[in-house]
Amino acid sequence: MYTTKILSLFIIASLLLFSCSSQDITPLPDQNFNLGWLFAKGDKPTAMQINYDDTDWRKLNLPHDWAIEGPFDSQYNARTGGLPVHGKGWYRKHFKIDPQHKWKYISIAFEGAMNNTKVYLNGELVGERPFGYIGFEFDLTPHINFEGDNVLAVALAPEDLASRWYSGAGIYRDVHLKINNPIHVAQWGTFITTPEITNQEAKVHVQTTLKNTTEGNETINLVSIVKDENVVVTTENKEVNLKANSDNVVVTDLRIAAPKLWDVEAPNLYQLETQVWQGDTMVDVYHSSFGVRTIAFHAQNGFQLNGKRVDFKGVCMHHDLGPLGAAVNYRATERQMEIMKAMGVNAIRTSHNPPSSALLEICDRMGLLVIDEAFDEWQIGKVPNGYNKVFDQWHERDLRDMIKRDRNHPSVIMWSIGNEILEQGRKEGWKVAKMLNDICHDEDNTRPTTAGFNYYPASFDNQLAMQIDVVGLNYKPNGYIDAKTKHPDMILYGSETSSQTSSRGVYDLPITGELTNTDLQVSSYDVINGPPWAYPPDVEFDTQAANPYLLGEFMWTGFDYLGEPTPYGGRDNSTNGYWNDDWPSHASYFAPVDLVGLPKDRFYLYQSQWTTAPMVHVLPHWNWEGKEGQQIPVFAYTNAEEVELFVNGKSYGKKRKGVDITKIPAEYKGFPKGDYETKYRLRWDVPYTPGSLKVVAYTNGNVVAEKEIKTAAKASNLKLEADRNAINADGLDLSFITVSVVDANGTLVPKANNLVQFRIEGDGALAAVGNGDSASLESFQVPFIKAFSGKAVLIVKGNGQVGEIKITASSQGLEDEIITIKTE
Ligand code: GAL
C-alpha cells in the first residue's frame, strides 16, 4: 500500500543520504520530508533566520492543518468553517546533508501549502507561492550548508475572507526533499499520451523533460521502459545530447501489444520507468503511471470512454476530510471514494481547485473519472481576499503546473478553467476564458476544457462559454433545453446539480417544504431545499433521462464539508462577508453523506438510481412516541420493480417504481411550488404503531431486497463497527469506527445524543472524532463526543508498532463496549 511505500522510501532515502561513498551517483529516490518539523503560530518577522530560537516550538509531522485544531468560535467566519483558518504560521525544519552531495541538484517540493507561502533556506528566500492548492518545487542547491545544520523555514499567511469554504491552514500536503544528479528528469517531467489504440496495439507517446544543470552539453541515453505490474512490456533507448543549463524535451514512441484498456469497470494501469544513463552509469530513474484509453465528447451522443457511452453519475467534492481537516490522508481520501462508489458514483469534479495527488491516484486505481478544476475566481473576486488578488500574476503558472502535474492520470478527462466565474457577466470576459483555454490546450491537447456556468444566458451572449470545449451548467435543469435549442452543437452537462440539503437521521413532520427545524438541522425527507437555486435530485434524474444529449451530472456535493452552512448563516454576507447569523451552524448540509462519512437517506435515493445490485431503503426511523395512531409518511427508495410495506407484519400494499407517483414539495423556481411529481420515491402514509417497519422489494415477482427498522427501547448499549479491523501500523493508515447508541436488542436509538468517551490503549492513537452534526462545536481532537442521531465516528491510527489497538467506548448509564484493531 501507498503508506508503506512512503515509509520504505523514507528509510532507503535516509540510508542513502547518509551512507553513500563520496561521488556516488546512484540515483536517490525522493525523500519524504514530512517528519520532524517545528511549528509556531503568529507574526514572527525574523523566524526565517538560521539562529532563530525555536526551542519552544511545537514538534509535529506533516501534513498538518492548524485550523482543524480549533476551537470553533463565532469570531471566525462560519462560511470557512468557524475555525481559525486565517493568521500567520511558521514551520521550521533542521536537517543535515552529507557533503558528498555537494555537486548535486537539491530541491524541495511541496504538494501544497495553505497559503501565501514563503520558503527560506538558511535565512535566504528560495521561493514563494500564493495559491494554496498547487504544488511547487524550489531549488535549494545554492544555499545548502554541507558542513553543518540547515534550516528550512516556511512562512504561511492565510487571510480572513479568502474562500467560500473551509480551506484549512498549514503545510497540509506532503513535502519531499529531492537530491538529484545534475542531469535528471524534471519535476512532472513525463507527459504520456496514447494517440493510437487498436485491439492489437497502442502507441505510447512520451515527452520527457530532462534537466541539465551542468555548464556543458552532455550526451545521455534515455531508456523508457513500459511495465505492466512489474513485467516489462516494451523498452526504447535513445541517445540524446542535452544542452547546458537548460530543460531539454525528448520525444519517445513505444508500442504496447494487445493493450489492456483503462476503464471505469477495469482501471488497468501501466507504469513507465524512465532511466537516464551517462555512459555505463544510470544517473536518474523516474516513475510514472498511465492508462491506455480513449475519450470523446459528442453533442448528441454524450461522453464516450473507449468508444462506449458512459453517463456521468458525478459528484462535486471539496478537499477537506471532515474531522481530519484539510491535511491530506491517503486512506481517508480512499474511504471517501469507496463510499462514493457504493452510492453509484463514477465521476468526481474537484470543486473548485486542484486536488491532492492522492485523490487522483485513487481515482486512477478505482476507475473514477475526474474533472480537474483550477479556479473559483479569475480577475473578479467573490470574497474580499480571494484568488482574484493574485490572478493576473499567477494564473498562467498555476494552471500550467496543475496540468503538468495531472496530465498522466487516465482518470482526468477534462480541465475545468473555472466555476461560476463572475466574468460571465462582463462584456470582455471571453478574453480571459480564451487565454486560459489556450493554456490548457498548449499543455495538453488530448483533453477538452470546461467550466461551470451559472449565468448561462449572459455567458453565451458575451461569448465566454464559446471559448471552451464542453459547457457545464450549474443548477439549470430548464436551461439545458434552451441552450441546446439555441446551440445544437454545444456539448452540455450538469456541472453542479441539486444542492438539496439535509441532516442525517432528522425528520420533521408534517412535511411542509419549509425550513421548520429550530435546532439548525434540515429534515431528511429531502423535500426542503437550501438556496433558491436548489432542487431535489429527482428533477435532475428526469431531466437527464429526457435529454439524452446531456453527458450526465455532478451533484453538489458527495460529502458534507466544513464551511458554507446553507441553508443557515449567510444572510448578512452583503455587509461583512461573515455567515454567522445562525451560529453555531458552520458546515455543509448539502451532501447525501455527512461530514464523517455516514450515509443520509439521500445516499440511497442516488443508489436507487445509479446502481443495479438490488437494494431497498426505508425512512424515517420508527420511534414516534406520542404520535401513536397518527399518519406517518414512509418513503422507500429502490432499484427493484416494486416495494411492499409492512408495519408489524401487516401489509400496506405494493407500490411500483415508475408507475406510482409521489408528490413532493419542491421550491425550485422552474416549477410550481408544492407539486413535483417524482417516480423515484414510493410513499405510504401509515398510522404509527411501535414495532417493525419493513420494506420488501421485488423484481419479476421475486424478493430481491429487504430492510427493516424497529422501534428502539431505552438506550442501554454501545455498538462499535470498524471499516477495517486491521490497518498498517505506520501511523498514516486509519480505521474508522462507527459507534451507535443501541437498546438491549441492538436497535439504533435514533435520537440518542449520549456523550461517548473512548479509551484508546495499545499500539495506536486518536486521529479524530466527529458526529456529522453541522452545528456541533465539539472538538474533533479529543477522545469523546456526543452521538448525533444515535451515531458518531472515531478515527484511530497506529503508532508504528505491530500489535493491537484496544478501544473501549463508554457512556454514562450504558454498558461499555470494546473493539480491537490489529496494526500490521
Ligand atoms: C454553487 C457554487 C458552489 C456552492 C453551491 C451551493 O453556486 O458553485 O461552490 O456554493 O452553489 O449550492
Give the model's pLDDT for residue 480: 96
| Backbone phi, psi, residue 713, to 5° | -85, -165
Place of cell 519531499: 176
- Out of 290-299, 660-669, 755-764, pick the least confident: 660-669
Indicate whether residue 420 lines ligand 1 (CB < 6 A): yes
Mean pLDDT of the chain: 94
Nearest to 456 by CA among 533, 383, 384, 388: 533
Task: Identify the CATH number of the domain defined by range 183-290.
Answer: 2.60.40.10
Q: What is the side-by-side order of every strand in the sheet holding 117-121?
A: 58-60, 37-41, 89-95, 150-156, 117-121, 124-129
Does the annotation count 423 as an active-site position? no
List C-alpha distances in Å: 162 to 140, 529, 556.
Answer: 30, 27, 21
Task: Say which residues have a Cβ less than 8 Å from residue 546's Cβ, sequence separation at least 6.
Answer: none
How close is the Cα of 787 to the center of ligand 1, in Å?
A: 29
Which triple of cell numbers denotes residue 145?
Answer: 550548508
CA 565/CA 816 separation, integer angstroms: 35
Indicate the class that CATH gives domain 5-62+88-157: mainly beta
Indicate whether residue 560 lines ligand 1 (CB < 6 A): no
Which triple of cell numbers denotes residue 791?
Answer: 451515531
Indicate whether residue 531 lines ligand 1 (CB < 6 A): yes
CATH topology of domain 306-500+535-610: TIM Barrel (3.20.20)
List C-alpha distances in Å: 473 to 424, 557, 567, 592, 737.
Answer: 12, 15, 22, 21, 38
Which of 496, 553, 561 should be mutated for ligand 1, with most atoms under 8 A from CB?
496
Q: Domain boundaries in the chain?
A: 5-62+88-157, 183-290, 306-500+535-610, 616-710, 717-823
How close is the Cα of 484 to the center of ligand 1, in Å?
A: 23
Residues 793-799, mean pLDDT to the nearest whole number: 98
Indicate whether residue 424 lines ligand 1 (CB < 6 A): no
Q: Is 415's pLDDT higher than 60?
A: yes
Residue 13: enclosing H or E segment and its boundaries? helix 2-19
CA 249/CA 230 separation, integer angstroms: 26
| Backbone phi, psi, residue 412, to 5° | -75, 120
How close is the Cα of 595 to the center of ligand 1, in Å?
A: 17
Torsion 349-351-357-358 (CA) sign:
negative
pLDDT band at 7 (very low <50, low <70, confident <90, very high): very low
pLDDT band at 576 (very low <50, low <70, confident <90, very high): low
Which of 80, 315, 495, 499 should be mutated for ligand 1, with most atoms under 8 A from CB?
499
Give the model's pLDDT for residue 13: 43
Give the model's pLDDT for residue 671: 61
Give the model's pLDDT for residue 669: 63
CA 330/CA 91 separation, integer angstroms: 22
Give the model's pLDDT for residue 332: 98
Task: Say which residues have a Cβ less than 8 Å from residue 595's Cβ, sequence separation at least 6.
Answer: 322, 323, 559, 560, 561, 562, 587, 588, 770, 772, 774
Indicate whether residue 670 lines ligand 1 (CB < 6 A): no
Indicate whether residue 529 lines ligand 1 (CB < 6 A): no
| Ligand 1: residue whose CA is nearest its atom 4 | 556
List C-alpha distances in Å: 794 to 457, 720, 741, 802, 805.
Answer: 47, 10, 14, 20, 13
Indicate the class that CATH gives domain 717-823: mainly beta
Quote the Cα angle for 157-159-165, to 5°. 120
Give the model's pLDDT for residue 164: 95
| Backbone phi, psi, residue 293, to 5° | -160, 160
| Backbone phi, psi, residue 677, to 5° | -95, 115
Give the ligand 1 atom nearest the CA of 452.
8
Residue 540: enclosing H or E segment and its boundaries? helix 537-546
CA 744/CA 713 separation, integer angstroms: 8
The whole-model pTM stands at 0.96
Which of 420, 553, 774 should be mutated for ligand 1, with most atoms under 8 A from CB?
420
pLDDT band at 172 (very low <50, low <70, confident <90, very high): very high
How close is the Cα of 380 to the center of ligand 1, in Å?
A: 17
How close is the Cα of 497 to the center of ligand 1, in Å?
A: 9
Percentage of the chain lying above the pLDDT 70 cut = 95
Largest Cα span, the chain: 90
Query: Dihedral (C-alpha) 318, 324, 328, 334: value to the nearest 10 degrees?
Result: -80
Residue 434: enclosing H or E segment and its boundaries? helix 429-443
| Ligand 1: residue whose CA is nearest its atom 2 | 420
Instruction: Give per-residue pLDDT as tens, 86-114.
Output: 999 999 999 999 999 999 999 999 999 99
Indicate whether residue 496 lines ligand 1 (CB < 6 A): yes
Supply the DSSP string of 480-505, one letter for each residue.
HHHHHHH-TT--EEEEEEE-B---TT
Give the ligand 1 atom nearest the CA of 420.
8
Q: Looking at residue 153, what DSSP letter applies?
A: E
Give the model's pLDDT for residue 670: 62
Indicate whether residue 474 lines ligand 1 (CB < 6 A): yes
CA 410/CA 388 separation, integer angstroms: 30
How close is the Cα of 305 to the center of ligand 1, in Å?
A: 28
Neighbours of 43 (CB within 10 A): 11
Among residues 377, 496, 564, 644, which one is catalytic?
A: 496
Task: Say which residues have a Cβ less than 8 Å from residue 625's Cβ, sequence separation at least 6.
Answer: 690
How close is the Cα of 76 to the center of ligand 1, in Å?
A: 21
Per-residue three-class SS string for 737-753:
EEEEEECCCCCECCCCC
pLDDT band at 723 (very low <50, low <70, confident <90, very high): very high
Give the model's pLDDT for residue 666: 76
Indicate whether residue 499 lines ligand 1 (CB < 6 A): yes
- Helix (H, G, I), strand (E, B), or coil: what is residue 466? helix
Percentage of the chain lying above the pLDDT 90 cut = 91
Does the annotation count 373 as an active-site position? no
Q: Is 10's pLDDT higher than 50?
A: no
Give the model's pLDDT for residue 621: 98
Give the model's pLDDT for residue 516: 73
Among residues 334, 361, 373, 420, which one is catalytic?
A: 420
CA 158/CA 184 separation, integer angstroms: 34
Domains 183-290 and 616-710 share a fold: yes
Nearest to 558 by CA among 349, 375, 373: 349
How close is the Cα of 566 to the center of ligand 1, in Å?
A: 10
Preceding omega of 130 cis (within 30 degrees of 0): no
Give the model's pLDDT for residue 158: 98
Q: Is 21's pLDDT higher than 50?
A: no
CATH of range 616-710; options 1.10.3720.10, 2.60.40.10, 3.40.50.280, 3.60.21.10: 2.60.40.10
Nearest to 593 by CA among 289, 368, 315, 363: 315
Q: Is 57's pLDDT higher than 70?
A: yes
| Ligand 1: residue whose CA is nearest its atom 11 | 499
Q: Are 319 and 344 in contact (CB under 8 A)?
A: no
Give the model's pLDDT for residue 254: 98
| Ligand 1: residue whose CA is nearest its atom 12 | 499
Indicate whether residue 535 lines ligand 1 (CB < 6 A): no
Q: Looking at residue 217, what DSSP letter applies?
A: -
